[in-house]
Amino acid sequence: MRTKQQYIDSVMKLRRNIFCKGERISRDHEDLEMTLNVLGHTFEAAADPATADLCTAKSHLSGETINRFCHIHQNPQDLHKKQDMTRMLCRHVGYCIGRCMGADATNAVNSIAFEADKVNNGNTEYYKNFLKWLDNFQKNDYVLACAQTDTKGERMLRPSQQPDPDQYLRVVERKSDGIVVTGCKVHITQASVADEIMVVPTRAMTADEKDYAVAFAVPSDYDGVTQIVHPHNMNRRKHFKRGFDFGAVDSYVIFDKVFVPWDRVFLCGEHQHGGLAALLFALFHRHSYSGCKPAIGDVAIGLAALAAEVNGIEKTPHVKEKLASIIQIAELGYAAGYTASALSKPEVNIPGFGQVPFGPGSYIPNSIYCNVGRCLTGEAVFHEQEILCDIAGGVPATFPYEQDLVNPETKAYVDKYLKRNSKMPVEDQIKFWLYFSDMTVSAIAGSMNYASFHGGGSPIMEQIAITSQYDIKARKDMVKRLAGMS
Amino acid sequence: MRTKQQYIDSVMKLRRNIFCKGERISRDHEDLEMTLNVLGHTFEAAADPATADLCTAKSHLSGETINRFCHIHQNPQDLHKKQDMTRMLCRHVGYCIGRCMGADATNAVNSIAFEADKVNNGNTEYYKNFLKWLDNFQKNDYVLACAQTDTKGERMLRPSQQPDPDQYLRVVERKSDGIVVTGCKVHITQASVADEIMVVPTRAMTADEKDYAVAFAVPSDYDGVTQIVHPHNMNRRKHFKRGFDFGAVDSYVIFDKVFVPWDRVFLCGEHQHGGLAALLFALFHRHSYSGCKPAIGDVAIGLAALAAEVNGIEKTPHVKEKLASIIQIAELGYAAGYTASALSKPEVNIPGFGQVPFGPGSYIPNSIYCNVGRCLTGEAVFHEQEILCDIAGGVPATFPYEQDLVNPETKAYVDKYLKRNSKMPVEDQIKFWLYFSDMTVSAIAGSMNYASFHGGGSPIMEQIAITSQYDIKARKDMVKRLAGMS
Amino acid sequence: MRTKQQYIDSVMKLRRNIFCKGERISRDHEDLEMTLNVLGHTFEAAADPATADLCTAKSHLSGETINRFCHIHQNPQDLHKKQDMTRMLCRHVGYCIGRCMGADATNAVNSIAFEADKVNNGNTEYYKNFLKWLDNFQKNDYVLACAQTDTKGERMLRPSQQPDPDQYLRVVERKSDGIVVTGCKVHITQASVADEIMVVPTRAMTADEKDYAVAFAVPSDYDGVTQIVHPHNMNRRKHFKRGFDFGAVDSYVIFDKVFVPWDRVFLCGEHQHGGLAALLFALFHRHSYSGCKPAIGDVAIGLAALAAEVNGIEKTPHVKEKLASIIQIAELGYAAGYTASALSKPEVNIPGFGQVPFGPGSYIPNSIYCNVGRCLTGEAVFHEQEILCDIAGGVPATFPYEQDLVNPETKAYVDKYLKRNSKMPVEDQIKFWLYFSDMTVSAIAGSMNYASFHGGGSPIMEQIAITSQYDIKARKDMVKRLAGMS
Amino acid sequence: MRTKQQYIDSVMKLRRNIFCKGERISRDHEDLEMTLNVLGHTFEAAADPATADLCTAKSHLSGETINRFCHIHQNPQDLHKKQDMTRMLCRHVGYCIGRCMGADATNAVNSIAFEADKVNNGNTEYYKNFLKWLDNFQKNDYVLACAQTDTKGERMLRPSQQPDPDQYLRVVERKSDGIVVTGCKVHITQASVADEIMVVPTRAMTADEKDYAVAFAVPSDYDGVTQIVHPHNMNRRKHFKRGFDFGAVDSYVIFDKVFVPWDRVFLCGEHQHGGLAALLFALFHRHSYSGCKPAIGDVAIGLAALAAEVNGIEKTPHVKEKLASIIQIAELGYAAGYTASALSKPEVNIPGFGQVPFGPGSYIPNSIYCNVGRCLTGEAVFHEQEILCDIAGGVPATFPYEQDLVNPETKAYVDKYLKRNSKMPVEDQIKFWLYFSDMTVSAIAGSMNYASFHGGGSPIMEQIAITSQYDIKARKDMVKRLAGMS
C-alpha cells in the first residue's frame, strides 16, 4: 500500500491535461490541494493501526493486504466494513471521502465482465482482462474515479436518437488492437486527482445502441482525455484555523477519439450488460451512500446541537424535535445499508426477473435496501439545511469577515457582541460560526447540497429502481386474498 | 401448545367482567368474534409446518417447543424471527396480529425483575416469582395482554401530584401475602380476550412515587378487574365475502382494590426500575412494530397498486412515485428493526449512561434503531392514507351499499357503471372497493390510524427516546474538531 | 323565499326513485333526516335578520330578494358575500352546507349558454332557455344539485374511445322537441334531496365528442332518473346530545334514456363550450371552497385547541405550532378566495389565451387564486387529521360507547377515569371526546376526508389548472432578462 | 425626489465609519457597487412615467409627490400599491429591493410616537418630533435602514437579566438635551448605504426594562456609530454579462455611547409601546414580504421553467407539479398580502385585546393575513431550492468557470457538450446556467436563503404572532356548541 505522500507524488507526475479558470494547470495547483488531502487520508487511515481493520482487506487475487477501496467484496462482512469505513472516514474529513467510486466501479465491472463473457461463450476475455487490470490496480494501490454520467443532450431522446451521437460516450471505431471512443462524462468527482478512470454506461440500452455499451479503464491523463475541472474548496483561513480543510473537485472528462487497447476493455457491445453495468455501479454506489450520508448526518447533528448550545436554546422542545429528525434520517440511512449488507448475495435484482445469480461469486448488496436508504437521505438534504438555518438564525449569513474579527479597530466590538454563550470562549464561538457558514451559506455548501441530492442517483432514480424491482405483485396478491377477490 | 379452538374454549370460561354498549357481555358476544379469529391465527400458524419455524421457539426454561409469542429472546436470531413472524402474521390477517404485547411484556419484566432483585440484595424474589409464572405461562400457551397506559389525569402533573392519586395505577395497600392495587389502564388492546394481563408502569418515577412502580400479572377476569371495551370490527358482509374479517378490541381495564399475591408481583416500589420497565416494554414493543408496520405497508402497497390498476393508471409516473414512497417507508421500518435485532445485546441504553449490561442474559434490541424505525412508520400513517385517497379518487366514500349491489332493481346499473377496468371481473372490482373502503373510510379504519400513530408510543415519544439516548456529544466533539475549536 | 319546512314538504312529494341499502326508499327515510336539516338551515339563515344580508341577494332578473344560493354574481361584492355566507353557514352545521353546487352550476351555465348562442349566431336559444329556467328557479327558491363527475370507465381513454360509450353521459338521440340522454353521474352530493339537478360536462371534449357536450336541468325525480344513495350521518345519540347532527348524502345518478325538452337544454353539441362549462363550474365551485374550507379549518382549530385544553397541554410550544399550522391553512385559503373575489371580472382564463371577456357581464372569480387556495386546503386534509390525532392521543379511538357512559354499573368508573381537566365538568369532557371521535375516527369522518380532498377537484386538478393558465412565459422572460439571455 | 446619481453622490459624502475584510472602507468600495445599483433603481423607477404611479405617492404632510418608500399609508389603496411596487421592483433586480425597511419603520414609528404621547398626556413630544423628522426625510428623499435585531446574548434571558446589559441596545444616560445609547444591532441590511438609520426595539419589554424601550433616527455615519459590513455580491462576469448584477450588504451597527438629541427621539421609556413598536415594524415588514416573496417566487418559477426547457423535460408531469407548487406558494403569499391590505384599518391587533384603534389614522395592514403569508413563504425557501435542484440536475454545481467557457483550448468542447436544447443558442444556455448557479449554489445564494427564511421574522415568530392574536376562543366556542357542551 502507498503512503499519502507516495500517492501525491505519483499524481504530480501526470500529464497536464486539466483546465481550470481559463488555464491549463498542473496537479500541484493550489485549488487541488484540499482535495489531495482528503484522498490522502484514505492512505493514512489504512496505515494507522487504529483504523486498519476497517480500511484494509485481503485481496482475493493476491492474498495480500490491500486498501479496502481496491477490494472486491467476498462476503457480507466485507460490505459491513466498507459501510463502516466510509462513515468513519467521512467523519474524519467532514464530508465526502471521495474514493468509494473506485471500489464501486471495480465491483460492478467484476460481475459484468464475468457475465458478458458467459453469454459470449468464450469469444470475449473481458473478465480475464479485468482481473489482470485489477491485480495491477490493487498492487499499485490506485485511486480510481468512475466516469458514468453522460451529457445526455436532448433528455427525451435515447442515445441513438440524439442529433449529436456523441452526447453519450460511444465506440466510434473498432480495431484489431482496441477501440476508439468519443464522448464526455460530466460531474466526475476526483477524476483529476485519480490515478485511473473507469468508464461505465449511464443507462439501459437497446439492441441498436451497442456502441454505447462500453466499459474500460484508462489513466486519468491518458492521450485524448481532457478535463475541465470545477474545484470546491473551503475558503482559506489565516487566523481561525479549521481542524480539516475540505475540498473536492469535479471534472468534465472529455474523450476525443481515445484509443483503448483490448486488455483495458471490459465490455463492448453487449447492450443488456451495458444497462446492468449502469444498474450495478449505481447499486454499489448507493450502498456507499449508506456510509457517507450518515456521516454527513453526524456533522449536521453536531452543527445543530452546537448552534443550539451557543444560542443557549439546546433544551427547548423544538430543538430536540429537529435533532431527532436529523438523527432519524442518518440512522435509517445507516440501517438500510446495514440490512443491504447483511442480505447481500452473489445475485442481482433484474426488473421483471427478480433476484438472479450474477457474477463470479462476489457479493452484491440488496438492491431494495440500498435504494430506499439512498432515497431517504437524498430527499432530506434541503430539509436538513432548513433545520440548520432555523436553529442558527441569521448569524451565518451576516457574520463578519475573518479579517474584521482580528482588526484592532473592530476586535473589541466583535468580541463583546459576538459573545452569546458565556460558558464558551468567544474564539470558539467564532470558529464555530465560521465553520457553520462554510457548511451552509458558502459556495462549497451549495455544491455539497447538489452533490448530496443527485450524487449516486437523484431520488427519482431510486424511486424508479424501487418500483421496477420490488415485488409489488406479491402485495397485490395479498390484498386480493384479504379482499376475497378471485 | 394449544389449538385455536382450545384457546377460544378457555376464553369462554372466563368470568363476565366485560361491558360493551351498556351491557355486561360474555366473551362469546358477536363483537368479539373477529378478534378471536385474529388471535386464533397465532395458534394455527404455530401448528402449521409451513410457518412453524418462525412461529415457535424452544423454551430456555423447559426446553420444550413453545409459541414464539411466549418466548424470551436468547440471541439476535430470536429477534430476527420475532420480527419476521410478526410481519408474516400481520400480512395474513391484514393488520395487527394482537399478541406481540405479551412477548414484549414478558421480555421486559424478565430483565427488570432480575435487576430489581440484584439491587435489593436478595430481599426480594421478583425474578423467581416471574420465572415460575413464566413457566406456567409458556406451558399453557397463554395469550397475554400488557396494560401500560394510565389515564394520567392532569397531563402536566406527575403521578404524585394528581388531585386524584388513582390516575396512575398504584399500590394502595401492602399486606404480608400480597399487595392491593387501584387504577385504570386505557387503550389496552385484546385485554378482554387474553388469558392474562401483565401490568407495567407507564413512565419514569421519582423516589416519592414508589407506589406507582409496580409490575404484576393477573388473569383477565380477575377479582376486582372490570373491563369496558370498544370493539373495532369490519362490517359484516353477506354477499361479497372477504378473505379475512379483521377485528380488534380495546379495553379500559379498571383495577378496583385488586389483591395480588406476592408470587404474581414482579416489581413493587423500586422507582428507578419502574421507569426502566416502562422504557423496556416500549422498546420491545417498538421492535414489534418493525414487523407489523412493514406488513401494514404491504397492505397499503397492494391497495394502492390495485386501485391504480382498477383505475387504469398504474403506469403513470405519479402513481409510481407514490408507490415508491410507501415501499420506502415500509422497508426502512423493516431495515431499522433488522438492524436493531442484529445489534441486540443483553444491555439497555439508559439516558445519561449509554449502553449498560442488563438482565439475566436475554437479548434486548438496539434502542436507537427501534426508535427511529417506529417513529418513521408512525409519522407516515396519514401520509399513506393521503396516498390511498389520492390514487382511489372519490369512489370509496360514495360506493353503493352491499345490498344495492345485488338488488335486482339496481344490479344492472351497478354492474354497468362500476366497471372501470375491462380486464377484471366487475365482481372483483366491487370486492376490491369494498375492502378498500374498509381500510380507509370506515370507523375501523379511523381507529386503525390512531392505533398505528400512537400504538407503541407516539412519534414524540420516540423522538424523546432518541434525543435522550443518542450520543449527541460525540457529534458535537467531531464538529469541534473539524471547526478547530478547543 | 321558502321556509325550511316548505322545502322539506316539497321534497317529500318527489317520486320514490331512490335506492339505499337494497331498498327503494322515500325521502322521509331516517337516513336523509340529518341532511335535510343541513340544507334546511340555508332557508332559516336567509329568513333570520341577523344573517339575511349575507344569505340573500336581489335578483338581477326579477329584482326580488332571493336566497343567495340562487343568485348570479353581479359584482365582486357578490362574490365576497358568497364566500362569507359559505364560511358562516358551514360553521353553523360543522361541515359542508351542501347548497353551493347550485349557485356554482347556475353561474357557470349562465355564461356558457350566453357564449354558445353567440358562436351559433342566433341558431340556438340556450341563454333564453336558461334565463326562463333561472327565473322559475329563483322564484321557487329551489335547491339545486350539480351532476358533473362521470364514471369515466377506462381512465386513459377519452369519452369517444370507451368500450362502453355511456361511461360519459351523452346525447343518444336528438328529437324535434328535445334530446335523449344516457349515462351515470357519480359522487353527486345532495342530489337525492334537491329539487332539481343540473347536468354539466366533466372534462374538455374534442370535435368528435359533441354528444358529450351537453348541459341541462331536470327535477331530481325525473322520469328515467334513478339514484343509488350513500348517506353519511353522524351516529344518533341518546344521552349526550350534540348541538347539531350533521349529515350528507351522495348519489349515483343514473340517466337511462332520459328525454329532456329543448327549453331545459342549455348546451348541446358545442364541444369547446363543453370543456369551458367543466372548467367554469369547477372554478365557481373552487371559489365556494374558499368559504367552506376555512370553516372546516375553524372546526379543526377548535377541536385541536379544546383537545389540548382537556389534555392540559394547551400552553406547550408544539401545540401552539400545530394550531398555527391549521390557522395558516384556513386563512390562506380564505385570503385566496378573498383575492379571487376582489379581482373577479366578466372574463375567463382560457389556457393558451389568457384572460378573455366571457358571458353576459356576470362576475367570474380569478382563476389562479381560486385554484391555489383550493389546492392548499385540499392537500392539507390528512395533515390536519394528523395534527388532531397527535394532540388527542389514543382517546378518540377507544372511547367507551355512549351506553357504557350511563350504565349504572360502569358510570362511576367512567366519571372517575375520564376526568382529565379538573376545571371542566366531566360531562363536557365526554361530549367533547364523542364529538371529536365523530370528526376523526368515525365512518363519516372517513368520507369527509375524501370529500375534502377530492371535492371540487383533487389537488392534481388544481395543479393542472394552475400550470395551464398561469403566465409562466412572463416569468421565463424575466429570468432571461436578468440572466442576460437574448 | 432625487435621481439615482444624486443618491449615490450623497452617500459618497458620508464619514468612513465602515469596516470590511479588515479595513476601514469608503462607500465607493467596489463591494458596495452592486448594492448601490439596487437601491438606485428605486429612484429610477419613481422617475420613470411607466412605473411612477406605483412608485410615488402624495405626502400627507407636504402634499408633494414623494417616493412611495417615504410615504405614510393613508388608505388600503396605499398598501395595495406598496405591495405591487415591491413585487415589481424586486422582479426588476431579481431579489430584494432593499428600501422597504424605511417605509415600514416610518409607518410603525408614526403610530407609536402618536400613541406614546397620548398616554403621556402631553408630557412628551415624540409625534411632533417624528413629523418634523419625517417632513425632512420625505423632502430629501432619503434611504432609511431600520435597525431592529439586537445581539440578544443569552437567548433564554430577558434584556434586563443579561450578564452584559448592552446585549440589547439601551439608554445609558438621559440628559436635558438628549439621550445616550449603547448597543449593537445585527443583520441590518443596507445600513451602510442608507442616509439614515431608524432604531426600534426588538421585542416586548417589562416595566423594569424601560431603558430598552427606545426609538430614534440618526444619520448612518453618525458620531459613535460604527458598522462592520458583510457584502453579498454576485461574482463579476467578464464574458457572459447578466442583465442585472445583484448585491446587498448587511451590517453589524455598533452604537458606542451615541448621543441622540431629543428631537430625533421618538420613544424613550414607555415599555409597552416598546413592545408594540417591535410588533408594528415586524407587521409592516411582513406586509412588504407579501410583495418581495412573490417576486422571488417569480424568479424561481422562471428558473425552474427554463431549466426544464433547457433540459427538454418541460412537458413531464413531475415538472408541472413542481412548477405548480412554486406558483402556489408565490400567489398564496401575494393573496395574503392583498387581503391584509384590503382589510387594513387604523387599528392594531394586541394579543389579549384583539383589534383596537391605534395611531393618528394611518393604515395598518391586517396582522393575521400578513403573518400567515410571511410564514408560508418563509417556510418554503428550502423547499423551493430543492425543486430547483431537482429539475436542474447536477449541472449548476459542476459548471465550468466562465474563463474555461471562452478559452480557445476548451471552447469547442464546451460548446459541443453544454448544448442540450438544440433550439436554444448555446450561449444562452451558458448564460442561463451561470445565472442559475448564482441563484442556487453560490455564496450569495446561501445568504439569500437565510435572508428569505429569517428576514422579517423567522417562521416561528409568525407562528407566535398568529397564535397570540388569532381568535382561538371563538373557534373553541363554536366547537363547544356543535358538540353540545355547556
Query: What is the CATH classification number for the domain harbouring B62?
Result: 2.40.110.10
Query: Do residues D53 and D150 both lie within one domain?
Result: yes
Query: Do residues D418 and D357 both lie within one domain?
Result: yes
Q: Which residues of chain D have a CB within 8 Å of the CB of B316?
A: 317
Residue B301 lies in a domain: yes
Other C-beta atoms lying within 10 Å of the C-beta of residue D358: 20
Q: Which of these, A187, A154, A155, A151, lies nearest to A170 by C-alpha position? A: A151
Q: Which residues of chain A have a CB within 8 Å of the CB of D463?
A: none
Task: Encode D204-267 in three state secondary structure.
Answer: CCCHHHHHHCEEEEEECCCCCEEEEEEEEECCCCCCCCCCCCCEEEEEEEEEEEEEEEHHHEEE
What is the residue-averaged pLDDT of chain C?
97
Query: Do residues C234 and C289 both lie within one domain?
Result: no
- At residue B221, the 3 state secondary structure works out as coil
Point out which residues pair with D173 in neighbouring strands.
D180
Residue C83 lies in a domain: yes
Residue C447 lies in a domain: yes
Query: Do residues B221 and B303 both lie within one domain?
Result: no
Q: Which residues of chain D have a CB within 8 Å of the CB of C332?
A: 332, 335-336, 372-373, 376
pLDDT digit string (tens) for C26-41? 999 999 999 999 999 9
Residue A412 backbone dihedrals phi, psi, to 5 degrees: -65, -40
Residues in chain D: 486
**pLDDT given at position D439:** 98
**pLDDT given at position A326:** 98
pLDDT, block means (10 residues), chain D with 486 residues: 98 98 97 98 98 98 98 98 98 98 98 97 96 98 98 94 96 98 98 98 96 98 98 97 98 98 98 97 98 98 98 94 98 98 97 94 98 98 98 97 97 95 95 98 97 95 96 98 97
Cell triple for residue D320? 408541472
Complex-level ipTM: 0.97
Domain termination site, one of B227, B255, B272 = B272
| Closest Cβ opposite residue A484 in set B242, B369, B470 | B242
Segments forming the whole domain that contains residue C177 = 4-275
**pLDDT given at position C142:** 98
Give start and end residues of each alpha helix (H) in A73-140: 76-93, 100-119, 126-140
Q: Cell numbers 473481458 label which residue?
A: A126
Residue D483 lies in a domain: no
Cα–Cα distance measured from residue D73 to residue D87, given in angstroms and rounded to the nearest whole number: 17
How many pairs of residues across B and C have Cβ atoms under 8 Å apart? Answer: 239
Cα–Cα distance measured from residue A323 to residue A332, given in angstroms and rounded to the nearest whole number: 14
Interface of D with C in 384-403 (CB under 8 A): none
DSSP B68-103: GGGPPP-SHHHHHHHHHHHHHHHHHHTS--S-HHHH
Radius of gyration of chain D (CA): 24
Query: Do residues D298 and D409 both lie within one domain?
Result: yes
Radius of gyration of chain C (CA): 24
Q: Which residues of chain B have a CB within 8 Å of the CB of C381?
A: 386, 389
Amino acid at A319: V
Domain termination site, one of C215, C249, C275 = C275
Cα–Cα distance measured from residue D407 to residue A229, given in angstroms and rounded to the nearest whole number: 13
- Shortest Cα distance, chain B CAs vs residue A433, angstroms: 9
Query: Do residues C373 and C297 both lie within one domain?
Result: yes
How far is it between the farthest Cα atoms of chain A? 84
Residue D405 lies in a domain: yes
Interface of A with D in 196-235 (CB under 8 A): 226, 228, 230, 232
Query: Do residues C448 and C460 both lie within one domain?
Result: yes
Query: Do residues B233 and B158 both lie within one domain?
Result: yes
- At residue C466, the 3 state secondary structure works out as helix
C neighbour chains, 3+ CB pairs within 8 Å:
A, B, D
- Shortest Cα distance, chain A CAs vs residue D26, angstroms: 15
Residue C367 lies in a domain: yes
| Closest Cβ opposite residue A376 in set B303, B332, B480 | B332
Cell triple for residue C268? 348541446
Query: What is the CATH classification number for the domain harbouring A437?
Result: 1.20.140.10
Tell me which H or E stretch contains C102. Answer: helix C100-119
How many domains does chain A contain in total? 1
Confidence of residue B34 (pLDDT cuts 50, 70, 90): very high
Q: Which residues of chain A have a CB within 8 Å of the CB of D409?
A: 19, 24
DSSP B303-347: HHHHHHHHHT-TTSHHHHHHHHHHHHHHHHHHHHHHHHHHT-BSE
| Contact across the interface for D486 and C428, Cβ inside 8 Å | yes
Cell triple for residue A176? 484489431
Hey, is the C-beta of C425 within 8 angstroms of any chain D C-beta?
Answer: yes
Interface of B with D in 430-449 (CB under 8 A): none
Domain termination site, one of C244, C275, C306 = C275
- Shortest Cα distance, chain C CAs vs residue B400, angstroms: 6
To test the contact with chain D by mutation, choose from A226, A313, A441 the residue with the greatest count of D C-beta atoms within 10 A, namely: A441
How many pairs of residues across A and B have Cβ atoms under 8 Å apart? Answer: 201
- Cα angle value C78/C80/C86 (rounded, 5°): 100
pLDDT at C131 over 90: yes
Q: Which residues of chain B have a CB within 8 Å of the CB of A332?
A: 332, 335-336, 372-373, 376
How many pairs of residues across A and C have Cβ atoms under 8 Å apart? Answer: 8
To test the contact with chain C by mutation, choose from D38, D286, D479, D486 the residue with the greatest count of C C-beta atoms within 10 A, namely: D479
**What strand order describes the sheet that includes D214-219?**
D144-147, D196-199, D214-219, D265-268
Residue B480 lies in a domain: no
Answer for the pair A387, A322: CB distance below 8 angstroms, yes or no: yes
| Contact across the interface for A22 and D250, Cβ inside 8 Å | no
Q: Which residues of chain B have a CB within 8 Å of the CB of D321?
A: 318
Query: Do residues D247 and D375 both lie within one domain?
Result: no
pLDDT at B352 over 90: no
Question: For residue D187, what is the nearest residue in chain A, using CA coordinates?
Answer: A398
Other C-beta atoms lying within 10 Å of the C-beta of residue C408: 7
CA distances from D227 to A396, C13, D256 (A): 17, 82, 11
Query: Do residues D75 and D174 both lie within one domain?
Result: yes
| Contact across the interface for D446 and A451, Cβ inside 8 Å | no
Q: Which residues of chain A have a CB within 8 Å of the CB of C317?
A: 316-318
Q: Which residues of chain D have a CB within 8 Å of the CB of C478?
A: 91, 298-299, 302
pLDDT at C391 over 90: yes
Hey, is the C-beta of B414 within 8 angstroms of any chain A C-beta?
Answer: no
| Closest Cβ opposite residue A324 in set B305, B466, B477 | B466
The residues of chain A scoring below 70 in pLDDT are none
pLDDT digit string (tens) for B55-94? 999 999 999 999 999 999 999 999 999 999 999 999 999 9
**pLDDT given at position D303:** 98
What's the whole-model pTM score? 0.97
Cα–Cα distance measured from residue C475 to residue D305, given in angstroms and rounded to the nearest whole number: 8
Q: Quick one: average pLDDT of C402-418? A: 97
- Shortest Cα distance, chain B CAs vs residue A129, angstroms: 38
pLDDT digit string (tens) for C345-355? 999 999 889 99
DSSP D349-398: EETTTEEEE-SSS--B--HHHHHHHHHHHHHTHHHHHHHHHHHHTTHHHH
Amino acid at D454: H
Cα–Cα distance measured from residue D331 to residue C472, given in angstroms and rounded to the nearest whole number: 13
Radius of gyration of chain B (CA): 24
Hey, is the C-beta of D404 within 8 angstroms of any chain C C-beta?
Answer: no
Query: Do residues D231 and D372 both lie within one domain?
Result: no
**pLDDT given at position C352:** 86
| Contact across the interface for A228 and D404, Cβ inside 8 Å | yes
Pairing, β D144-147 against β D170-174 = unpaired
Hey, is the C-beta of D421 within 8 angstroms of any chain C C-beta?
Answer: no
Q: Which residues of chain D have a CB within 8 Å of the CB of B321?
A: 318
* DSSP 8-state class, residue B351: T
To test the contact with chain A by mutation, choose from D313, D318, D417, D460 the residue with the greatest count of A C-beta atoms within 10 A, namely: D417
How many pairs of residues across B and D have Cβ atoms under 8 Å apart? Answer: 8
**pLDDT given at position B236:** 96
Cα–Cα distance measured from residue D181 to residue D173, given in angstroms and rounded to the nearest whole number: 7
Query: Do residues D174 and D225 both lie within one domain?
Result: yes
Q: Which residues of chain D have a CB within 8 Å of the CB of A413?
A: 184, 226, 228, 252, 254, 256
Question: For residue C383, what is the nearest residue in chain B, using CA coordinates?
Answer: B382
| Contact across the interface for B318 and D317, Cβ inside 8 Å | yes
Residue A90 lies in a domain: no
**pLDDT given at position A352:** 86
Q: Which residues of chain D have a CB within 8 Å of the CB of C241?
A: 484
- Shortest Cα distance, chain D CAs vs residue A397, angstroms: 5
DSSP C239-281: SS--S---EEEEEEEEEEEEEEEGGGEEEES-HHHHHHHHHHH
Q: Which residues of chain A have a CB within 8 Å of the CB of D184?
A: 413, 416-417
Interface of A with C in 319-348 (CB under 8 A): 321
- Shortest Cα distance, chain B CAs vs residue D155, angstroms: 20
Hey, is the C-beta of A163 within 8 angstroms of any chain D C-beta?
Answer: yes
Q: Which of these, A88, A87, A58, lies nearest to A73 by C-alpha position? A: A58
CA distances from A179 to A159, A261, B122 (A): 19, 6, 81
Interface of D with A in 354-383 (CB under 8 A): 381-383
